């Protein structure tokens, strides 16, 4: 087995939050320049192939031939109105099967349209009172996300009494609030589901109106509210409990399935200002779609002209147009989305030929696609991903060389052996980067859907060792592909550990959406193992992600202040506190805390930077951090301060004489590092 952990570098993480803390701190001269996230290699212009109707056992990537199978069409989107657009399926079944009768479908659409008009009116009432739309979440005093914006909107929908029954200091699934789930107002209820979940969600993610949870307002929307779309009815499979503080995360590679395949003619959406509820046609161009999704993109677009009046009946001209000419989307190429959005695969002729995957979610794509031109190796010795032309040529050669295996590898066990062979024999081509890249990726992408997690991760580790591959999305995809096939508890435990590691990696780079994706995977693994301790650990980590996201939102203005005035005390205190006590990056954070305006923290940071060598002084510094933790209101800051105390206690203990100081240090170290405090092991 390849030693994976030793190969994991910070530079493998190419996805960044829009305001990357590490980058801004480096620009401000706050250190850490060697850890700057690497710029993403340029992507190619290959269209995203979206096929919502692909069967569960269908091809992994549209256009990827399977062993013994012919290649399907690449780059087309099933028209709205096809099977992909029917309201039946897993989501409908969740709330009882939805009728396929034409009149019933039309009645459900009418109900959805009426609901959206009511919600649009309530949103305008809210803006009239508060000069902005609702924040995405109701936040607790400790920064945790408690309830959805939909709860905050209740008084403006005529549900004052229901709003009054919510405990605004409890999470949505707390004992009191959970009892109100079945009180979902009809305006939020999905006509296709008829349960406690809703398809009415804010559009969140990089560059959207809700990139951060703060409510959209005129001053934060340079393109104009009337030209910005911020609420949509998403596909029922993406519905959420209506009080849960979660919404739709824009993923460019899946935007068509998520927004346009539910209704026959387009997406039911809400624009800001006087435009309000509208229909966004399913055949809207990628450029116009991007323009209305981004409040500050400065695109010349008219929201009212791009959309149509919201009506109860589908627009027949749109439906006919889609049936005659299925569209090809390249939306993923138009938007750089560092906080969770996937990029299109890109190397159709090479990667698709050499990757006979049994299944990948239709429309999803790899992030390790090739740049259009050669790039130099990175400072850590890893090479750029070879160009498309080189990968195409290498892919064809690999296809010829392993023609027999491609024809005969039909069963899962055969595919496992084929993947293992590709991985082992890739060692013979390490001097040929295009061939090495193609063979390793093929080994990874063939092994993952068979459930061979070890082999898939080993191939992924080699890719990360040799090439500038974006670690987070590609590794997460491996876990997603392996997960359904894992049977034994050891494999599920390994998946849990890797998902938790990915969550840490994402959080380290302020990628909160990515961290939550990874934690969802970890939570699923813990439930499968029926390990309540592991599930509780993943849930605690999710709380920390929510708190970190809220804390990051609060310091965003201070980041720019530091760029202009590196010595400004308030900004240094705020950013230093986040960097040290939330991110636990003490190397970068202590220097700012030492220049901050919080006197107790300033003194602690200055003493810490003094790097005492005397054991008694080290123990005293540990006591000081522990005492500060006792008065911290934020759970994540309390935990971080105690960890810093443990850092100094461990340095002090080898030289401390028998004393109360030694006993205190030993007990506190034992308390924090007890087995109950460590991450559970599912294996």
pLDDT in tens, 40-73: 333 333 333 333 333 333 333 333 333 333 322 2
Nearest-angstrom CA–CA distance, 271 and 275: 6
198: which strand partners? Answer: 240
Query: pLDDT of 141-165, one tens digit each?
Result: 766 789 999 999 999 999 999 999 9
Nearest-angstrom CA–CA distance, 259 and 280: 9
Q: In the predicted model, what is the mean pLDDT of residues 525-547?
A: 90
pLDDT in the model for residue 305: 93
pLDDT in the model for residue 214: 86
Query: Sorting pLDDT into bands at 50, 70 and 90, what band is 488?
Result: confident
Residue carrying structure tokens 């599930």: 535
Nearest-angstrom CA–CA distance, 344 and 337: 12
Q: Is the pLDDT of residue 337 over 60?
A: no
529 backbone φψ class: left, alpha, beta (φ>0; ψ -120 to 50)? alpha
pLDDT in the model for residue 347: 22
Query: Sorting pLDDT into bands at 50, 70 and 90, what band is 487?
Result: confident
201: which strand partners? Answer: 232
pLDDT in the model for residue 166: 96
pLDDT in the model for residue 551: 85
Rounded to the nearest 10 degrees, what angle do helices 532-564 and 512-528 cross at?
A: 170
| SS3 assignment, position 630 | helix
Residue carrying structure tokens 């062979």: 421
Residue carrying structure tokens 């590609």: 474
Query: Sorting pLDDT into bands at 50, 70 and 90, what band is 611?
Result: very high
Q: In the predicted model, what is the mean pLDDT of residues 135-144?
A: 80
- Assigned token pair, 274: 């006087």
SS3 content of the chain, % helix, strand, coil (to 5): 50, 5, 40
Q: How many CA atoms lie within 13 A of 650 on its CB side?
A: 10
Nearest-angstrom CA–CA distance, 15 and 60: 23
- Assigned token pair, 33: 């320049």
Q: Is the pLDDT of residue 321 over 50?
A: yes
Q: Is the pLDDT of residue 198 over 90?
A: yes
Query: pLDDT of 406-447, one tens digit each?
Result: 889 889 899 999 999 999 999 999 999 999 999 999 999 999
pLDDT in the model for residue 338: 36
Nearest-angstrom CA–CA distance, 391 and 404: 21
Nearest-angstrom CA–CA distance, 591 and 596: 9
pLDDT in the model for residue 148: 95
Q: Is the pLDDT of residue 2 over 70?
A: no
Least Cα distance to 12 among 51, 38, 48 occurs for 38
| SS3 assignment, position 68 | coil
Evaluate whether 506 touches 515 at the Cβ level (below 8 Å).
Answer: yes
Lowest mean pLDDT among 41-55, 315-329, 497-511, 588-602: 41-55
Query: pLDDT of 263-272, one tens digit each?
Result: 989 999 999 9
Query: pLDDT of 104-118, one tens digit each?
Result: 888 999 999 999 999
Nearest-angstrom CA–CA distance, 363 and 374: 27
- Say which residue, 25 or 296, is predicted with more confidence: 296
pLDDT in the model for residue 38: 29
- Say which residue, 87 or 150, is predicted with more confidence: 150
Least Cα distance to 553 among 248, 296, 211 occurs for 211
- Say which residue, 359 or 487, is predicted with more confidence: 487
**pTM attached to this predicted model:** 0.53
Nearest-angstrom CA–CA distance, 372 and 44: 6
Least Cα distance to 448 among 325, 344, 546, 357 occurs for 357
Query: pLDDT of 624-660, one tens digit each?
Result: 999 999 999 888 899 999 999 999 999 999 999 999 9
Rg of the chain, C-alpha, whole Å: 26
pLDDT in the model for residue 574: 92
pLDDT in the model for residue 139: 84
Residues belonging to the chain: 683
The Cβ of residue 64 has, within 10 Å, a number of other Cβ atoms equal to: 24
Residues 154-192 as b/e (b if ≥16 CB within 10 A, e otherwise) read bbbbebeebbeebeeeebbeeeebeebbeebbebbbbbb
Evaluate whether 238 touches 248 at the Cβ level (below 8 Å).
Answer: yes
Task: Determine which helix (DSSP H) or strand (DSSP E) holds 322, and give its type and residue range.
Answer: helix 316-324
Least Cα distance to 529 among 637, 680, 352, 347 occurs for 680
- Say which residue, 673 or 48, is predicted with more confidence: 673
Nearest-angstrom CA–CA distance, 135 and 337: 21
Q: Is the pLDDT of residue 76 over 50?
A: no
Q: Is the pLDDT of residue 402 over 90?
A: yes
pLDDT in the model for residue 99: 46
Burial class of residue 472 in the structure, from the number of CB atoms within 10 Å of its CB (0-12 exposed, 13-18 middle, 19+ buried): buried
Q: In the predicted model, what is the mean pLDDT of residues 478-486?
A: 91
In eight-state DSSP terms, residue 387 is P
pLDDT in the model for residue 596: 95
- Say which residue, 32 or 607, is predicted with more confidence: 607
pLDDT in the model for residue 643: 95
pLDDT in the model for residue 458: 96
Query: Sorting pLDDT into bands at 50, 70 and 90, what band is 35?
Result: very low
Q: In the predicted model, what is the mean pLDDT of residues 21-49?
A: 39
Query: pLDDT of 175-189, one tens digit each?
Result: 999 999 999 999 999
Query: pLDDT of 453-466, one tens digit each?
Result: 999 999 999 999 99
Residue carrying structure tokens 């990051």: 552
Evaluate whether 154 touches 160 at the Cβ level (below 8 Å).
Answer: yes
Q: Is the pLDDT of residue 295 over 50?
A: yes
Q: Is the pLDDT of residue 6 over 50?
A: no
Question: What integer best gives the mean pLDDT of the chain?
Answer: 79
- The C-alpha angle with vertex 561 and arms to 557 and 567, in degrees rounded to 5, equals 140
C-alpha 641: how far from chain center: 28
Q: In the predicted model, what is the mean pLDDT of residues 649-673?
A: 94
């Amino acid at each position: 087995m390849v030693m994976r952990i030793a190969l994991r570098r910070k530079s493998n993480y190419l996805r960044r939050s829009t305001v990357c803390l590490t980058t801004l701190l480096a620009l401000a001269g706050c250190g850490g320049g060697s850890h700057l996230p690497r710029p993403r290699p340029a992507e190619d212009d290959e269209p995203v192939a979206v096929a919502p109707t692909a069967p569960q056992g269908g091809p992994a990537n549209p256009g990827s031939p399977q062993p013994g199978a012919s290649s399907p069409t690449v780059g087309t989107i099933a028209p709205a109105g096809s099977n992909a657009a029917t309201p039946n399926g897993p989501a409908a079944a969740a709330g009882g099967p939805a009728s396929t009768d034409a009149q019933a479908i039309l009645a459900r659409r009418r109900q959805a349209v009426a609901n959206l008009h009511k919600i649009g009116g309530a949103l305008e009432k809210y803006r009239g009172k508060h000069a902005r739309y609702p924040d995405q979440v109701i936040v607790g005093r400790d920064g945790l996300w408690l309830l959805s914006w939909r709860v905050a909107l209740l008084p403006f929908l005529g549900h004052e009494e229901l709003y009054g029954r919510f405990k605004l200091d409890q999470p949505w699934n707390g004992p009191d609030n959970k009892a109100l789930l079945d009180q979902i107002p009809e305006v939020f209820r999905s006509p296709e589901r008829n349960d406690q979940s809703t398809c009415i969600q804010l559009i969140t993610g990089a560059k959207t109106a809700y990139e951060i949870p703060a409510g959209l307002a005129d001053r934060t929307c340079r393109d104009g509210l009337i030209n910005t779309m911020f609420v949509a009815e998403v596909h029922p499979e993406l519905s959420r409990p209506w009080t849960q503080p979660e919404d739709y995360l824009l993923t460019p590679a899946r935007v068509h399935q998520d927004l346009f395949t539910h209704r026959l003619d387009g997406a039911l959406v809400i624009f800001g200002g006087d435009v309000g509820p509208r229909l966004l046609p399913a055949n809207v161009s990628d450029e116009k779609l991007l323009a209305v999704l981004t409040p500050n993109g400065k695109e010349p677009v008219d929201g009212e002209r791009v959309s149509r009046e919201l009506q109860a009946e589908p627009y027949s001209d749109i439906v006919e147009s889609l049936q005659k000419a299925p569209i090809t989307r390249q939306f993923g190429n138009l938007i750089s989305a560092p906080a969770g959005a996937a990029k299109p695969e890109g190397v159709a002729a090479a990667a698709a030929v050499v990757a006979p995957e049994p299944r990948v979610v239709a429309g999803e794509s790899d992030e390790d696609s090739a740049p259009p031109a050669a790039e130099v190796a990175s400072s850590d010795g890893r090479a750029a991903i070879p160009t498309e032309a080189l990968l195409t040529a290498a892919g064809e050669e690999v296809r010829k060389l392993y023609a027999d295996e491609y024809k005969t590898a039909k069963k899962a066990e055969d595919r496992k052996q084929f993947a293992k062979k590709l991985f082992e024999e890739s060692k013979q081509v390490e001097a040929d980067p295009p061939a090495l890249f193609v063979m390793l990726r093929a080994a990874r992408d063939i092994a993952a859907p068979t459930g061979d997690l070890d082999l898939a991760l080993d191939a992924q580790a080699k890719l990360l060792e040799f090439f500038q591959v974006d670690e987070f999305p590609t590794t997460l995809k491996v876990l997603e592909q392996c997960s359904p096939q894992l049977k034994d508890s050891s494999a599920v435990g390994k998946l849990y550990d890797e998902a938790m590691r990915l969550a840490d990696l994402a959080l380290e780079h302020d990628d909160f959406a990515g961290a939550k994706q990874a934690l969802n995977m970890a939570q699923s693994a813990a439930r499968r193992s029926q390990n309540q301790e592991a599930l509780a650990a993943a849930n605690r980590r999710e709380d920390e992600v929510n708190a970190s996201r809220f804390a990051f939102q609060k310091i965003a203005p201070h980041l720019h202040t530091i760029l202009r005035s590196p010595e400004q005390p308030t900004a240094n205190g705020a950013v230093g506190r986040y960097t040290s006590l939330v991110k636990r990056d003490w190397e970068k954070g202590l220097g700012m805390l030492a220049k901050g305006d919080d006197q107790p923290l300033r003194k602690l940071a200055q003493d810490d930077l003094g790097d005492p060598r005397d054991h008694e002084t080290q123990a005293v510094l540990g006591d000081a951090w522990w005492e500060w933790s006792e008065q911290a209101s934020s759970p994540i800051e309390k935990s971080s301060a105690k960890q810093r105390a443990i850092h100094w206690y461990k340095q002090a203990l080898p030289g401390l004489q028998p004393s109360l100081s030694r006993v205190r240090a030993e007990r506190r170290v034992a308390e924090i590092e007890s087995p109950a405090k460590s991450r559970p092991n599912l294996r």
